[in-house]
Amino acid sequence: MKSKNVREVALNLILRIDQSGGFSHLMIHHAIESEAVSRKDAALLTEIVYGSLERKLTLQYDLSRFIKQKKRTEPWVESLLLLSIYQMRYLNQVPTYAIINEAVTIAKKRGHKGIASFVNGVLRQADRKGKVDFSKIENKIERLAIETSHPQWLVERWVDQYGYERTYEMCMTNVDKKPLYLRVNRLKAQPKEVISLLAEEGVEAVLSSQANYGIMVRNGNVLQTPVIEAGLATIQDLSSLLASDFTEVKSGMTVLDSCSAPGGKATAMAEAMDNTGDIYAYDLHKNKTKLIKQNAKRLGLTNLHVSQADARHLQDKHDAESFDRILVDAPCSGLGIIRSKPDIKYSKTEADINNLSHIQFDILNGLAPLVKKGGKLIYSTCTVDRLENNDVIKRFLQENPQFVLDPSFTNEVKEKAWTDVLLTDEGLQIFPQSFNSDGFFVTRLMKLDEKNGE
């Protein structure tokens, strides 16, 4: 694929993501396959699309210096300018003159001579004027929002919940690249074995200091190795792996994973249970249950029972007090995984967060009767919003006095002596900057045995 076509594919992708609201990572993967993009060009395509989305508000602020406020530009022209300025500001491998020439060529092809001249003029101004001096923005919250490309309402919300310093670190981390993590399948290999195998394939990886079966990839493409396909490991973010570990499952247990797809936590629990016992894995969307089954088969797991169902109505499928453990990895705003899905921060609203908190509570409430006395209910989300995390758990505990925060959970977290996490009366908040992984909330509740109060 010629380099100019990479920019055309990137432009079309950005426009489709903006218009459809689809997940960027899925659409990029589809475009790479459907357009037969080479390995080298795929890396550049991914960088341009992710980068332009990740820095969208910053790039718009930069671009506003060169376009009169009353000047209207078509969406595709603005997107072309933004992805071009992104390359000029953040990439070094392509000379500025080449970026401008390719943008002008695309503008001529897609529009007309006048648009091409406009694009040329704007980009040459951008080159002459140089990068934005963010220090000139007096309001520090507005400055942080623009510099890190987060909607201002979201920055204000986080500052209100966690203070400015923690919010600053979170926003800055969200525009940094996130390392790739793997979970080693303990039924087939040990972490050091997998690290050695990856090294033979030219991939540099190291043991995670937070998770026993976690590996952090420093360099190389694991998908070009046999490790994943052979079921020796699974791509799973460190924070998600830690949430799986906190389920405290044991061999022979009966476990429910109520919102399971794509199955990362379900398969992690199945491995931790030595492929014994029973794990019932459900997801609201039938097509997503196929992913769980595929992952289980690849990993050689036979103790998963996968079906489609609404987590709020699983009492229709199972008797009361059937499960030793129930995991609720609840549908959420996803504001902890902005680095993986940068478009999330532009599409979510406060109303979305409020609506999701009600769904989350309904799921917990509906599943509570299915937990055995003395059993445990684990709640996790990939968001950093207190309304979806702390407030949901606080309300649940108030309305379900037979449940308490598991004291062993609190002790377990304290013993790890992690820094830059937040342990509260409701659970553990992991921030993107905590371990250079996803933002995640996890808590473990215990159902009291009414006979002895334990």
**pLDDT mean over 227-235:** 96
CATH of 180-235, one of 3.20.190.10, 3.40.50.1220, 3.30.70.1170, 2.30.130.10: 3.30.70.1170
Residues 6+ apart with CB under 8 A from 56: 82, 149, 342, 346
Helical ranges in 273-349 per DSSP H? 286-299, 344-347
- What percent of the chain clears pLDDT 90, i.e. is strictly above it? 85
304-363 pLDDT, tens digit each: 999 999 999 999 999 999 999 999 999 999 999 999 999 899 999 999 999 999 999 999
**pLDDT mean over 387-406:** 98
Count of CB atoms within 10 A of residue 218's CB?
11
CA 231 to chain centre: 22
Residue 17, classed as helix, strand or coil, is helix
Residue 451: its pLDDT value, please?
Answer: 56
Rounded CA-CA distance 292/65 in Å is: 48
CATH of 3-132, one of 2.60.40.1930, 3.40.50.300, 3.40.50.11810, 1.10.940.10: 1.10.940.10
72-100 pLDDT, tens digit each: 789 999 999 999 999 999 998 889 999 99
Question: Cis peptide leading into 262, omega within 30 of 0?
Answer: yes
**pLDDT mean over 279-289:** 95
Place of tokens 């990572």: 25
In the chain, domain spans: 3-132, 136-174, 180-235, 238-447
Q: Which class is domain 238-447?
A: alpha beta
Residue 223: its pLDDT value, please?
Answer: 87
pLDDT at 414 over 50: yes
Is residue 1 very low, low, confident or very high in pLDDT (cuts 50, 70, 90)?
very low
Rounded CA-CA distance 36/13 in Å is: 15
Residue 433: its pLDDT value, please?
Answer: 98
Is residue 26 very low, low, confident or very high in pLDDT (cuts 50, 70, 90)?
confident
Is residue 3 very low, low, confident or very high in pLDDT (cuts 50, 70, 90)?
very low
Exposed/middle/buried for residue 421 (C-beta within 10 Å: 0-12, 13-18, 19+): middle
Asked whether this chain's domains 3-132 and 180-235 adopt the same fold, the reply is no
Residue 22: its pLDDT value, please?
Answer: 63
415-435 pLDDT, tens digit each: 999 999 999 999 999 999 999
Average the pLDDT over each of 104-108, 207-211, 220-224 and give the range with the smallest value. 220-224
Count of CB atoms within 10 A of residue 57's CB?
18
pLDDT at 442 over 50: yes
pLDDT at 296 over 70: yes
Average the pLDDT over each of 27-36, 259-268, 287-296, 320-329 and give the range with the smallest value. 27-36
182-219 pLDDT, tens digit each: 999 999 999 999 999 999 999 999 999 999 899 999 99
**pLDDT mean over 155-167:** 98
**pLDDT mean over 154-172:** 98
Closest CA to 21 of 262, 336, 345, 261: 345
Rounded CA-CA distance 421/398 in Å is: 25
- More confidently predicted of 356 and 27: 356
What is the set of active-site residues? 382
Element at 397 (helix H, strand E): helix 390-399
> What per-residue string of b and e applies to 230-260 under the rule 16 or more CB within 10 Å gives b?
ebbbbebbbbbbbbbbbbbbeeebbbbbbbb
**pLDDT mean over 161-188:** 97
Sign of CA dihedral 229, 231, 233, 235: positive
